[in-house]
Amino acid sequence: MKARKRPLGHLDKRKKVTRCQSCLSRRIKCEGGIPCRYCVRNDKDCLPQTVVHGEIKFIAVTEIAPVSSTMPSQLSRQDDDVYLDLFAAFIRRCQFTSGFVSVDSDLISLIYTSPLLHNLAVAIGALEASRRVSCSKTYESRTAQVVAFKSYGRAIAALRSRLTITKALHFEDVLWGSFLLGLFELISETSGERFAQHMLLGMLRLLQLNGPVQSWAYLRRKLVDAFRVLEANRAILFGNGTCLSQPVWLLSQPGITARENIFSDPTEAILVLKIQMASFSKRFFDQIESIPKHRRPFHPAIQALAFGGVVIGQKLTGQH
């Protein structure tokens, strides 16, 4: 008798089997049809192999609670440290003067004690971080920008709170905070208008209230020297005058003698010349516009301006 093959399920990928259960357990060849010879000889039931059907499993999908976007305070402190390191690197690249490169180490104590300076340092460092990441990390760049402008806002609030104190205009952190606010505005926008207004109406007014004093402290001297560089460039670019061109301010610098007008530092001579050029440019256009056009060719003020321009030109040529 021909052996009858057991039917397989539609998911069974094995070959069709012909052995019964008894022959399968004995691992012998199943012969003789159903019942097979082994089962007849041993008086056993010749049963086909059991068919195991695949079970259907149902999987329930549940939504996972969203992960909080708030970073732990420990990670936030680490990020602040990174931003402060970037701030220090940025300051070292700002070579306004020869002594400004070491300002980051001079400001450490103030940064960790003054909320105003700490927030400004984080703001500038975060803005630097947003410009250093690659294009593939746009999210990190935007996150750093958010940190920068939030810290900038907190610094503004800290400055306002600080100014409510009597004699706050003479505090070291207020002066440096005002300077760094202007520096942040300079690097955060392209027009430079906010920076110009800040320098003209903010930092310059603070220095005027403090007055030109030759016995300035070491750290404040660095601040004034760096400010004079930025103020000279601002005055030339925007055509505004500056109080730094007044003799009382020029003579307050340690590198110039009042009688001989001689500078011990060549860069100081160039800086003073830029301040004088900005002041002359402002005075030139103001006087020109105040004179009617038909009287300008022979007006004595025009001749005086021409002579002043020649003097400035000779000084400029002498620097080469």
Q: What is the pLDDT of residues 49-65, one digit of tens each?
A: 776 655 666 677 666 65
Residues 179, 96 share a domain:
yes
- Residue 196 placed within a domain: no
Q: Write down which residue in 188, 205, 222 finishes a domain.
A: 188
Specify the pLDDT at position 71: 47
Residues 79, 45 share a domain:
no
Q: Write down which residue in 170, 188, 206 finishes a domain.
A: 188
Residues 228, 173 share a domain:
no
- Residue 197 placed within a domain: no
Residues 182, 80 share a domain:
yes
- Residue 292 placed within a domain: yes
Number of domains composing the chain = 3
Tens of pLDDT, residues 74-100: 444 567 888 999 998 988 888 787 778
- Residue 65 placed within a domain: no
Residues 84, 43 share a domain:
no
Residues 125, 166 share a domain:
yes
CA distance 167 to 117: 18
Specify the pLDDT at position 120: 94
Kindly state the tokens that stand for 225.
């020297």
Q: Is the pLDDT of residue 308 over 70?
A: yes
Residues 86, 161 share a domain:
yes
Place of tokens 């001579």: 269
What angle, rounded to 10 degrees, do the helices at 138-163 and 115-132 form?
160
Q: Is 6 exposed, middle or buried (0-12, 13-18, 19+ CB in 10 A)?
A: middle
Name every residue whose Cβ is closer than 8 Å to that of residue 171 and which is 6 or more positions away in sequence.
Answer: 162, 165
Residue 182 near residue 213 (C-beta atoms within 8 A): no
CA distance 26 to 10: 28
Q: Is the pLDDT of residue 123 over 90?
A: yes
Specify the pLDDT at position 152: 92
Quick one: which of 208, 224, 228, 186 has its CA closest to 103?
224
Residue 74 near residue 59 (C-beta atoms within 8 A): no
Tens of pLDDT, residues 268-299: 778 888 888 888 888 888 888 888 888 888 88
- Residue 58 placed within a domain: no
CA distance 47 to 39: 9
Residues 318, 245 share a domain:
yes
- Residue 207 placed within a domain: no
Residues 84, 17 share a domain:
no
- Residue 56 placed within a domain: no
Q: What is the domain range of residue 254?
A: 214-320
CA distance 115 to 225: 24
Specify the pLDDT at position 153: 93
CA distance 203 to 177: 9
Residues 161, 221 share a domain:
no
- Residue 61 placed within a domain: no
Q: Write down which residue in 32, 49, 66 finishes a domain.
A: 49
Residues 83, 176 share a domain:
yes
What are residue 20's DSSP bridge partners? 48
Average pLDDT of the segment spanning 144-172: 89
Please give the model's pTM, rounded to 2 decimal places: 0.62
Q: Is 239 left (phi over 0), alpha (psi -120 to 50) or beta?
A: left
